[in-house]
Amino acid sequence: MSTPKFAETHNLVAFLEKPKESNGFEEIIDFLNASSVQYALTVNPTIYTTCIEQFWTSAKVKTVNGERQIQALVDKKKVIISETSIRSDLKLDDAEGTNCLPTATIFAELERMGYENLTQKLTFYKAYFSSQWKFLIHTILQCLSAKTTSWNEFSSTMASAIICLATNQKFNLSKYIFDNMVKNLDGGQIYACFYVSVYAGTDIKEMDKNQSKNGQSRTRERKSAQEPGIIKLWSTKVNLRSTMVNP
């Protein structure tokens, strides 16, 4: 397995407040704050780089009592993550949710949302939506999806997640997150590192509470900003930087 690397432009924290620059986006911000994914979008743990690296370099997928789990060692302590634990810790009520809507339903719902230039292809583009929809799609893609590039396009799976959110249907985001964490075991970008910290929470803080003193932390902590959007927060070993990513 190749050494996983942090992706600097995903798993971000959503900035769902309404400063004066949010004119025109108040309704969608209110919608996201009242949605079933509000906690997952805005949860704000400190992420210890060394703990995340230990997790991914030791992680293995095992099946226990019919349930797939990711098991890893962090400072010689076992950390176990499953679809069920993700659902519980991110406060997602999605056990009965769909994994992907039928293609015909996706096309029909996207058309209702005002999507322009609809074709039979299952790759969709944020640019063909109104500003309000762009804001919502941008937020979901950068905070919760496994994408690390090509932010203007998204798949039928993400289209299903967005449609379900917009129409008050259930999409199994817990399974989506878990399945994409499993894919990382083949190497590539570290996905859902914020979730590892949410799940391991107290244990990781106790195991690694002195790491931040040495500049080894990585955080989703929300900072103040001038306009609505996504706060991009990432760190090097010694320097934390933040910038605004606009929808």
Per-residue model confidence (pLDDT) at position 74:
86
Per-residue model confidence (pLDDT) at position 23:
73
pLDDT digits (tens, 9 = 90+) for 221-247: 433 333 333 332 222 222 222 222 333
For residue 161, give both structure tokens.
């997640």
User: 97: alpha, beta or left, given left = phi > 0 and alpha = psi -120 to 50?
Assistant: beta
Average pLDDT over residues 198-224: 44
Q: Are 19 and 225 in contact (CB under 8 A)?
A: yes
DSSP per-residue string spanning 60-88: EEEEETTEEEEEEEETTEEEEEEHHHHHH
Strand partners, 217: 48
What percent of the chain is predicted at pLDDT more than 70?
Answer: 70
**What values do phi and psi take at 36, rounded to 5?**
-70, -15
Express the helix, strand and coil content of the chain in percent, nearest 5 each: 45, 20, 35
Please tell me whether the overall predicted TM-score, pTM, comes out greater than 0.85 for this model.
no
Residues 6+ apart with CB under 8 A from 140: 37, 158, 161, 162, 165
For residue 6, give both structure tokens.
């942090």
Helices and strands, number each (H, E), in the chain:
9, 12
Quickly state the pLDDT bin for 195 (edges 50, 70, 90).
low
What distance in Å separates the CA atoms of residue 17 and residue 227, rounded to the nearest whole number?
9
Per-residue model confidence (pLDDT) at position 240:
23
pLDDT digits (tens, 9 = 90+) for 81-129: 999 999 998 999 999 999 999 999 999 999 999 998 888 889 999 999 9
Mean pLDDT, the chain, whole residue set: 76
- Least confident range from 8-22, 38-52, 76-90, 167-181: namely 8-22
Q: What angle do CA 132, 138, 142 make, to 5 degrees?
A: 155
